Amino acid sequence: MNTHKVAVITGASQGIGAALTAAYQDLGYAVVANSRSIPDASTDTLETVAGDIGDPAVARRIVDVAVERFGRVDTLINNAGIFVAKPFTEYTPEDYDAVKRTNVDGFFHISQAVIEQLLKQDQGGHVVSVTTTLLENASSSVPSALASLSKGGIAAATKSLAIEYAGRGIRVNAVSPGIIRTPMHAPETHEFLAALQPVGSLGEVADVVRGVIYLEQSPFVTGEFLHVDGGQSAGH
């Protein structure tokens, strides 16, 4: 008999997603972890599904694996994301396609497949997406309109889905990080990036994990953007 709650976590091979995968297992969840290059793993509390989250067939496979292996889905964490920072006119069609595929398609297909499953189970559930404070507080030092375009869509959809499914017990939230020390940022950029944050330092992966766990454990919170951003959303 299945005794675990089950979380699906995308972008789980490194950085924030890898830490969330460990944290949810520590909380007693079984996790289905996805990224393109994630190594095969199959334990009592972990199953990996490698593939591009922008592909609807991968999204479907993740939910099928969760149900076959662990019997259900309770939480989805939309964490997979890429960041391409450039002056707007220098973005190429390839940049646009890549950001759209991972950040937007990668949100849409898996959210739809998981919410379908949550509705079938009829016991509520939780969707958390990782956005960025840059979409509310743009910085002239880090031009990144494609991040705002893609993550801004996720932020808007978070509120929309929170309201659409509030009556079915499905909560939909987002965590909005500032600049976090992960493999996304080359070490030589850390000093420059830390100086951009009001607190003068980078956030750590553990800061974002605490934010997600707070949302997970807060049944009265939905449609929320929780800022974990060293004060960036408050101003400069």
Ligand X SMILES: NC(=O)c1ccc[n+]([C@@H]2O[C@H](COP(=O)([O-])OP(=O)(O)OC[C@H]3O[C@@H](n4cnc5c(N)ncnc54)[C@H](OP(=O)(O)O)[C@@H]3O)[C@@H](O)[C@H]2O)c1
Residues that bind ligand X (CB under 6 A): 10-17, 34-38, 52-54, 79-83, 102, 106, 130, 132, 177, 179-180, 182-185
| Smallest separation (angstroms) from ligand X to the CB of 103 | 7
| Smallest separation (angstroms) from ligand X to the CB of 122 | 29
Minimum CB distance to ligand X smaller for 161 or for 208 = 208
| Smallest separation (angstroms) from ligand X to the CB of 106 | 6
Phi (first) and psi of residue 5, to 5 degrees: -75, 160
**Residue 99 host element (H or E):** helix 93-99
Phi (first) and psi of residue 227, to 5 degrees: -85, 125
- What sign for the dihedral angle of Cα 150, 151, 156, 159? positive
| Smallest separation (angstroms) from ligand X to the CB of 230 | 11
Minimum CB distance to ligand X smaller for 152 or for 169 = 152
Integer-rounded Cα radius of gyration of the chain:
17
| Smallest separation (angstroms) from ligand X to the CB of 35 | 3
| Smallest separation (angstroms) from ligand X to the CB of 51 | 7
| Separation of alpha carbons 24 and 26, rounded Å | 5
Residue carrying structure tokens 């950001």? 99
Minimum CB distance to ligand X smaller for 30 or for 130 = 130
| Separation of alpha carbons 13 and 182, rounded Å | 12
Minimum CB distance to ligand X smaller for 1 or for 186 = 186
Amino acid at 66: A
DSSP 38: P
Instruction: Quote the tokens at residue 182.
Output: 């992960």
Minimum CB distance to ligand X smaller for 79 or for 222 = 79
Minimum CB distance to ligand X smaller for 143 or for 177 = 177
